[in-house]
Each structure stands twice: as structure tokens, then as C-alpha cells.
Structure 1
Amino acid sequence: MNPVDDLATVLESTSELVAGVSRWDAPTPCPEWTVRELVNHLVLGHRLFTAALRGDAGGSLDPRTSDALGDYPVAAYRDAVAGLLAAFRQPGVLEGTFEVPAGTVPGIAALHLRIVEELVHGWDLARATGQEPKFEDALVEREIAFSAARLADLPAERSPFAAPVPVAEDAPPLDRLVGLLGRSPN
């Protein structure tokens, strides 16, 4: 499977979660963010990566200072998703090198970073809104392997994650991923 197709699959599943939001001011497992702020963070992240992949100047990832959702948060999310997918589908992107918040990374690593971000925040969104995330277990397993291999490469001051939380080895893959990245699935 083309790894960009994995990203598209995850983004579609999260798009369904975003479309199912009924209370934008609900708290999330990210204590500093409401549902709206969490979705805003995703949109800003998608736009920042899109700009990096296209060689454009990036923007702010701080959802406290930038409102990317406006009056139509679902449409803003879908628009950011379309731009991100188009950027990753450009010829040569996966073989290129890009400056992203985690540092200078190969295009394929940037792709995995977006997938992991979307999986974890999709989990956050599902928890906050009482929805069930529909992420493929095999895809999540691939991202567990990617994340476990790459966490050691991140300098402590640049890590966007908390310390891993113990999770049973037989737990669902998504619970194991969020545990690896510092969230308690319980």
C-alpha cells in the first residue's frame, strides 16, 4: 500500500469524528484544549506541513493565537486535509527532506508524523465526544513500530509527548499507541 493512502485513510476516519462533534467546548484528554482547540491544532498542523512540503513559509502552530476554524470548523478541517494530501502526493515528496516542528526529516518520516498525530488526536477527539474511532488495527500497528523506533531520536526538549504509560500488551493497538505517547487509555 502507498503510505500516503494510509494517511488518507486516517484523515477520513478523523474527518468523520470531526463531523460528529456536537459540543465544540467539551474538554479533551489534552487538558489545555477544548474540542475546538484540538481540531484547530490539527488544522494548523496540516497547514504547516502542507506549507513545508510545498516549500512555502510555514505558520503558527499555537492554537491559542490562531483560529483556523472560523464559523465552519468541519469545512476548515476538510480543506486542510485536502491540502495536506495534495502536498504529500506531489512527485518526490516522500524522498525529499523537510523542516517540520520535530526537526529536519525525510518526507516519509513527515508522513508518519502526521499519521501518528492524527491517530492520537483522533483518539482524543473520540474520547471527548463519545464517538468510536475507526482506525484500522494494522495501520495503527505500523505507526506503533514507527513511533517506538523514532522516540529515542527526539531530543527531550523537542518531544511533544509525555512519558509512556503502561498498557497491557494485548490491549487494542490504538490504546497501545496512545500509551506509548503518554496518554492513559483507561
Structure 2
Amino acid sequence: MNPVDDLAAVLESTGELVAGVSRWDAPTPCPEWTVRELVNHLVLGHRLFTGALRGEAGGSLDPRAADVLGDDPVAAYREAVAGLLAAFRQPGALERVVEVPAGTVPGIVAVHLRIVEELVHGWDLARATGQEPKFEDSLVEREIAFSTAKLGDLPPERSPFAPPVPVAESAPPLDRLVALLGRSSS
């Protein structure tokens, strides 16, 4: 499967979760972030990666630094998704080297970083809002393999994740991914 198609599928599923939010001030599994701040963080990340792929300077991922959701968080999310997918679909985007918060990486690594970020925060959003995430297990398995292979490459000071937490090997793939990246499903 093309990783940009995987990204599109994950973004669509997370977009459904965003559209299903009824309480924007609800707490999330991300310490100190509300649902609105979590979605704001995702939009900031999409915009940052879009800019990096277009050769523009990055921005902040801190959802408290700027609220880019305005009066219509769902529309802001969808607009950021459209820009991100267009940037990753540019000819040569997956081969281009870009500067992202995790470091200087080829576009192919950047797309996987966005997929993993979206899966983990999609899980956070689902937990916070009582919704069921709809991510394809085989896609999540691919990102477990990617994350397992690449986590050791991240300098500790640049890792956006907590240390892995224990999880049963028989747990669903999404629970295993979030556990690998420091989330507890209990």
C-alpha cells in the first residue's frame, strides 16, 4: 500500500472522530490537553508538515501557542488535512528531505510520522469522546513495524512519546501501538 494512501485513510477516520465531538472542553489522555487543544495540535502538525514539504519554515506544535481552529474546528481540521495530503502528493515529496520536529528526515519517514501521530491522537480523541476509532488493523500493524524500527533513531530530547508501557501481545493493534508509544489503555 502507498503510505500516502494510508495517511489519507487515517486522516479520514480521525476526521470522523473530530466531526463526532460534542464536548470540546473534555479532558484527553494527553496530560493537560482538552479535546479542542488536541485537535488544535493535530491541525498545527498538519500545517507544519505541509509547510516543511513546501520548503517553508516550521511553526509551533503547542496547542496553547495559537488556536487555529476558530469557530469551526471540523472545517479547520478538514482544511489542514487537504493541504497535508496535497503536499505529500507532490511529485518527489517522499524523496525530499524535510525538517520536522523529530529531525531532518526523508519525506517517506515524514509521512509515517504523520500516520503514527494521527493514529495515537485519534486513539486519544476516541477515548476522550467515547467514540470508536475505525483504523484498519493491517495499517496499524505497518505503523507498529515502522515505529519499532525507528524509535531507536530518535534522540531522547526529540522524542514526542513516553517510554513503552506493557500490553498483552493479543491486544488489538491500535492498543499495542499506543502502548509502544507510552499510552496505557487501562
TM-score between the two structures when normalised by the length of structure 1? 0.99
Structure-1 residue corresponding to 2:2:
2
Gaps of 5+ in 1: none
Please tell me whether residue 94 in structure 1 is matched to residue 98 in structure 2.
no
> Is the contact between residue 10 and residue 135 of structure 2 (CA under 8 Å) also seen in structure 1?
yes
Per-residue deviation, 1:2: 1.5
Structure-1 residue corresponding to 2:113:
113
Summarize the alignment of residues 133-148 of structure 1 with structure 2, pairs less than 5 Å apart: 133-148=133-148
Amino acid at match of 1:94: L
Per-residue deviation, 1:62: 1.4
Summarize the alignment of residues 21-60 of structure 1 with structure 2, pairs less than 5 Å apart: 21-60=21-60
Name the % identity.
87
Per-residue deviation, 1:57: 1.9
Please tell me whether residue 14 in structure 1 is matched to residue 14 in structure 2.
yes
Amino acid at match of 1:128: A
Deviations 1:81-118 (A, max 9, x none): 00000000000010111000000001000000000000
Q: Matched residue of 2:41: which SS?
A: helix
Structure-2 residue corresponding to 1:125:
125
TM-score between the two structures when normalised by the length of structure 2? 0.99
Q: Matched residue of 1:93: which SS?
A: coil
Q: Distance in 2 between matches of 1:92 and 1:45?
A: 21
Aligned length: 186
Q: Which 4+ residue blocks in structure 1 deviate beyond 3 angstroms?
A: none
Q: Distance in 1 between matches of 2:21 and 2:12?
A: 15
Structure-2 residue corresponding to 1:169:
169
